[in-house]
A and B are shown apart, each in its own frame.
Chain A
Amino acid sequence: MVSLRAAALRAARGDGGGAVRLPPIELARLAGGGDREAFEELVRGYQRRVYGFAYQYVRDAGEAQDVTQEIFVHLYRNLRRYDAARPFEPWFWRLATNVCLNYVRRRVPEPRELPDSGDAGGDPADLPGESALARALGELDRAYRLPLILHYHLDMSLQQVAQTMGLSVAAVKSRMHRGRAVLRRTLSEEAG
């Protein structure tokens, strides 16, 4: 038997092509009701941004995939609690942020090579081809790193960043200024 939700989803897609016509909030509502197809569309629509966000945060492709998967599993579990009367994006990114922070908190730090070990590996943060800015961002305190990633990488407005982080806009601005100042100092020291 074809569910009404699945039929609505197919109708919204038109000729059955891959383009998603339903807005995320509607997909979230359908997925919250148990529609797996709607959830898959939601993942398809967000996977690039979520993976990019996770990558900027953990700076490791394999771990970014783990974090991304964990974010979507948490989303699936919590969709029933989502109030469709409220905007989806801040709710979703708050969830994604919390999952990411918890992941990093649980992570066992990688052992670092001693400088005289003769190994060329050195600091695992020094990924080949990575820019000095990306490296400095990865080493930034997470209280400053998160608003910078949300605003500059995910193109969120300051208001959205504030909603996502549960802070005032003024507090977000202050953190971003401090974070950028730390990046500026780090880059200047490296250049000098």
Chain B
Amino acid sequence: MTQLTCGQARPLLEPYVDGSLDGETAAAVRSHLAGCADCRNQHLEAVSIPARLRALTAPEPPADLLPSVMAAVARVRRPRFAWGPLILEIGLCALIAWYLSGLAGLSALFSYTSGELSDVVGWGLGTTQLPAAPSLDLLLVLACLALVTVTGYHLALIIGATSEPSGRRAGQG
């Protein structure tokens, strides 16, 4: 049988106590313990620790724990509420896209916008005149304004839903 030194036996005490060692190693530990008083003391300590860990107590939770948790939860906005405005946003985008006559309309909008921008740049460089203000399309303007408003509201909801609540207990300010 293998003869163990104290340095070899001590790391094996916990698995020995748990019965996790194979037969040969366990026998070697047992043999070492029989002849080593220091390791026997360590073994007694190792045997007692699981029971002592189980016996560790914690104080009772304070009486205001449940109300404080429920108060904290009442302030939480669950992420699901942030999904509601998405339906409205998709609807408004669809309306705007439809109003701009699909791909042709979007292409016209892009070329119009890029033309306007190049005119503004040219005006800045002194090569062209400032472009005339476009005629307002009331429905398009209203739909875009509504989209901006809903998106702003949606962003506020998302920020509110993702920000961490205070870690302090309710009633502590």
Hey, which bits of chain A sit against chain B, CB under 8 A? Answer: 34, 36, 39-40, 43-44, 47-48, 51-52, 55-56, 61-62, 64-66, 68-70, 72-73, 76-77, 80, 103, 131, 133-134, 137, 148, 152-153, 173, 176-178, 180-181, 183-184, 187-188
B residues neighboring A (CB under 8 Å): 10-11, 13-15, 18, 20, 41-42, 45-46, 49-50, 52-54, 56, 58-62, 65-66, 68-70, 72-73, 76, 78-80, 165, 167-170
Q: Which residues of A contact B168 (CB under 8 A)?
A: 66
Give the Cβ gap from B2 to chain A, nearest Cβ, in Å.
Answer: 20
A184 to B56 CA separation, bound complex (whole angstroms): 16
Contacts of B76 in A (CB 8 A): 73, 76-77
**A43, A69, A180: the one within 8 Å of B14 (CB):** A180
Q: Given A133-B53, A184-B13, A55–B58 Cβ distance below 8 Å?
A: yes
19 A-B residue pairs with CB within 8 Å? A36-B70, A40-B66, A43-B70, A51-B60, A55-B59, A65-B62, A65-B65, A68-B69, A69-B170, A153-B56, A153-B58, A173-B18, A176-B14, A180-B14, A180-B46, A181-B11, A181-B13, A184-B13, A187-B45
* Contact across chains for B66 and A47 when beta carbons are under 8 A apart: yes
With both chains docked as a complex, state the minimum distance between the C-beta of A55 and any C-beta of chain B, in angstroms. 4
**Cβ-defined contact, B56 with A56, below 8 A:** yes
Complex Cα–Cα for A128 and B18 (A): 32
Q: Which residues of B contact A77 (CB under 8 A)?
A: 76, 78-79
The A/B interface has a contact count, at CB < 8 Å, of 115
- Please name the residue on chain A nearest to B61 by beta carbon: A51
- A64→B58 CA distance, assembly (Å): 10
Cβ contacts under 8 Å, B50 to chain A: 152, 180
Once A47-B66, A184-B42 are accepted as A-B contacts, the answer to whether A52 and B73 lie under 8 Å apart by CB is no
Can you name 17 extra interface pairs (CB under 8 A) apart from A52-B61, A80-B80? A36-B70, A44-B66, A47-B66, A51-B60, A62-B169, A77-B79, A133-B52, A134-B56, A137-B56, A152-B54, A173-B18, A177-B20, A181-B13, A184-B42, A184-B45, A184-B46, A184-B49
- Summarize B's interface: helix, strand, loop or mixed: helix
Closest chain-B Cβ to A164's Cβ sits at a distance in Å of 17
Considering the chains assembled together, what is the distance between the CA atoms of A176 and B79 in angstroms? 38
**Cα–Cα, bound, A80→B60 (Å):** 30
Are B42 and A69 in contact (CB-based, < 8 A)? no
Distance, CA A51 to CA B167, complexed state (A)? 15
- Which residue of B has the minimal Cβ distance to A52? B58
CA distance A70 to B18 in the complex (A): 35
- Return the chain A residue nearest B168 by Cβ: A66
Q: A55-B58, A69-B169, A180-B49 are in contact. Are A76 and B73 (CB under 8 A)?
A: yes
Measured CB to CB, the nearest residue on chain B to A136 is B49
**Quick check: A148 and B53 within 8 Å, CB to CB?**
yes
Residues of the A chain whose Cβ atoms lie less than 8 Å from the Cβ of B49: 133, 180, 183-184, 187
Docked-complex contact B73 and A72, CB < 8 angstroms: yes
Minimum C-beta distance from A75 to chain B (A):
9
Q: B residues within 8 A CB of A181?
A: 10-11, 13-14, 46
Bound: A189/B42 CA distance, A: 11
B61 touching A69 by the CB < 8 A rule?
no
Using Cβ atoms and an 8 Å threshold, which residues of chain B touch A34? Answer: 78
